[in-house]
Amino acid sequence: MVQWYASPELQSHHDHAFGTRRPGTRTLPPGHDEGSFLRVLDEFRAAIGQENVIVDDDLVNFRDPYPLFEEGFEASAGLCPSTVEEIQAILKIANQHQVPMWTCSQGKNFGYGGPAPRVAGSMVLSLQRMKRILEVNEKLAYIVVEPGVTFFDVYNHLVENKLDLWVSVPALGWGSVTLDRGHGYTISGDRQHFIGSLEVVLASGDVLRTGQWAVPNSPSAYACPNSFGPQVDGLFLQSNLGIVTKMAVALDVAPASFMGVNVYCPEVEDIAPLIDTLQIQEVVTQNLPNAWTEHKLYEGKDGRPVDNSEIGTLPAGVPSMLAVKLADYNLPADGTGAGAHIDTTLILPCEGNTVLTWFRKAKAIMEEQGVDPFIGCHVFSKYILFVQEYVFDKTSTKAREGGRKVVKALLTEAEKNGRFVETLKAAVDPNGILSPGKQGIWPLRNLVYLPLRRG
C-alpha cells in the first residue's frame, strides 16, 4: 500500500479500508489506446517525478473502498503533485491529450465514492501531498492551508503551538479541511460559510485568487472573503470548475466554557414537536415536560484551565476516528466479511411534520432490505441535512444488491420532493478535463461523455 499518512493509526485505517479491495483491471482514458496511454504517462512522469505517478496494483488507493458495483469507476492512473507549478504542468499535458482528471484531496469522502472517478479511465489528480499549513492568525482566528491538510494536522498544530483556537471537526478527522460541504460539531460547523479567500488553478493553467486575496499584498487577503463585484468562491465548492490549491478557513476562538445538550426521544412521533420547539439559541423547556438531564463537570488538573484534549470530544474540536467502526456494524457474527457503507443525503426545511414524514419513508425503505436504519442529521436554524447510511458487508453480493436497491429507492423518493453550471463549465474548461460528471456537471462539448450524462 502507498504510505498515505505519517500517523501509524491513520495509515492503519487507510490500509484497512483499501486493502480489502483487489486491484482493478487496466482501464484506459476515453479515446486512448495502450500506446497513447503509455506515452502520456511518460510525459506525466517527466513533469512530476516517476514516484508520483501511480499505476497498476497501487491504484487500489484510488478505488471506491465501499463499492456497490465491482467495476465501472476505475482510474487509469493516479497523479500526486506537490506544487501549483506541477498542477499546471499536468493540466497542460491533459489538455493536449484530452485526458480527464478527477481531483480529490485525501479521497476520504467514503460512502459517496471516495477517490474513485465518475468516468472510468480518468486519472485521479490527488492533492494529498500538498500538506502545508501556510499561516495561522490567532487574533483574527483563521488558518491558511493547502488541500492535503487534515483535521488532525490542524488540531495538532494548534495544540503544539498553544494557540487558543478550535477547528470544527467532522465525525472522522482524517479527511481534508477544504472544500467539502461537510459539517462539524462546533459553532462554525456549517463549514461552507466559514471558508473563503481561495487560490484556484483553472483548466487553462491560469491561477485565480478570490475575495480580497485578488488584490496583490492586500492586508485583508485572508480576513475578508468578500469581493468587489460577484462572489465566485461558491463556484469551486464540490465543483469541477477549477482546482483549489490554497484556502483560508475560519477557526473558533476557544470559549471560556461550553455546554453540549443531548435530547432523547422515546417515540418517533416526538421528532416533529421537537424540531418545531428547538431553536438555535434556546430550548422551550415547558414543551418538554418529561425531559431529564445529566451533567458532567470537567476540571483542569492542579488548578489549570481545562484542556480540550482532556475532554476529547468532537464538540471541543478534537478530531477522532471512532466512528469508522460503524462500518462493521452489520458484519456476520463469526467475524468474517469487510464493513462498508453507502450514504445518501437530503436537505429539508426545519419543519417538524416534513422531517417526520421523510424519516418514516427512509426508515421503511431501509427496513425493507432487512437492515437497521442508520439515519442521522445535522440541524441548523432553518434547515436539516439528513444522512441515510446503508451499512453492509462489501464481500457479500446480496448486501451490495440491497445497497443498490436502497439508494435507488431513496433517490427516487427524494426526487419527488438546472443545467446552468454546465454553461460555466464549458466556458472555463472547454475540453472538459476537470472531473467530468462531478455533482452531475458534464462537459457540453465533449460527446465522449454523452452516454453517461443524465437528463
Q: What is the pLDDT of residue 141?
A: 94
Of 83, 93, 1, 85, residue with least CA distance to 45: 93
Helix (H, G, I), strand (E, B) or coil at 12: helix
**pLDDT, position 303:** 63
Task: Give the pLDDT score at 449.
Answer: 67
Least confident among 82-91, 111-120, 304-313:
304-313
User: 23-37, 46-60, 128-142, 184-198: lowest mean pLDDT where?
Assistant: 184-198
Tracing cell 495538532 back to the chain, one arrives at 156
Cell digits of residue 351: 419543519
pLDDT of residue 62: 92
Longest CA span, the chain: 73
Is 169 a residue whose pLDDT tops 60?
A: yes
Residue that wins the pLDDT comparison between 210 and 381: 210
Q: Please report the pLDDT score of residue 455 as a whole number.
A: 45
Cell of 274: 421537537
What is the average per-residue pLDDT within 350-377? 87
> pLDDT band at 421, cuts 50/70/90?
confident
Residue 122 reports pLDDT greater than 50: yes
What is the structure's pLDDT at 283?
45
Region of 421 (left: φ > 0; alpha: ψ -120 to 50; beta: rest) is alpha
Q: Contact at 8 Å (CB) between 327 and 66? A: yes
Q: In the predicted model, what is the mean pLDDT of residues 169-187?
A: 76
Q: Set out the domains of the chain in order of their start, with CATH numbers.
A: 8-128+423-452 (3.30.43.10), 133-253 (3.30.465.10), 325-416 (3.40.462.10)
Q: What is the pLDDT of residue 146?
A: 96
Model confidence at 307, pLDDT cuts 50, 70, 90, reads low
Which positions ≥6 away from 370 have C-beta within 8 Å?
A: 402
Q: CB–CB of 373/423 below 8 Å?
A: no
Mean of the pLDDT values across residues 279-302? 51
Nearest to 110, CA basis, from 13, 6, 7, 245: 13
pTM of the shown model = 0.85
- Does 373 score more than 70 pLDDT? yes
The average pLDDT across 325-347 equals: 87
Nearest to 82 by CA among 49, 113, 110: 49
Please check the confidence at residue 366 and state whether its pLDDT lies above 70: yes
Count of beta carbons in the 10 Å neighbourhood of residue 133:
17
For residue 1, what pLDDT is reported?
A: 60
Q: Mean pLDDT across the stretch 85-91?
A: 98
CA distances (Å), 67 to each of 12, 327, 395, in order? 20, 13, 10
Give per-residue pLDDT as tens, 381-402: 788 888 899 998 998 999 999 9
The whole-number average pLDDT for the span 73-98 is 96
pLDDT band at 288 (very low <50, low <70, confident <90, very high): very low
214-223, 410-419, 433-442, range with the lowest pLDDT: 410-419
Judge whether residue 325 has pLDDT over 80.
yes
Higher local confidence (pLDDT), 13 or 185:
13
**Among the listed residues 358, 385, 383, the one whose alpha carbon sits nearest the alpha carbon of residue 373:** 358
Above 80 in pLDDT, residue 5? yes
Query: Residue 180 — pLDDT band, cuts 50, 70, 90?
Result: low
Closest Cα to residue 124, out of 156, 99, 145? 99
> Please, which pLDDT band fits residue 59 given cuts at 50, 70 and 90?
very high
How high is the pLDDT of residue 300? Answer: 63
Residue 284: its pLDDT value, please? 40
Give the residue, 356 or 369, on which the prediction is more confident. 356
**CA–CA distance, 236 with 133 (Å, rounded to integer):** 20
* Residues in Cβ contact with 331 at an 8 Å cutoff, skipping those fewer than 6 apart: 337, 338, 339, 393
Residue 222 is which amino acid? Y
Dist. CA 177–CA 149, nearest whole Å: 6
User: Among 126, 134, 129, which residue's Cα sits nearest to residue 154?
Assistant: 134
pLDDT of residue 281: 42
Q: For residue 175, is pLDDT > 90?
A: no
| Residues 77-101, mean pLDDT to the nearest whole number | 97
Q: What is the mean pLDDT of the chain?
A: 84
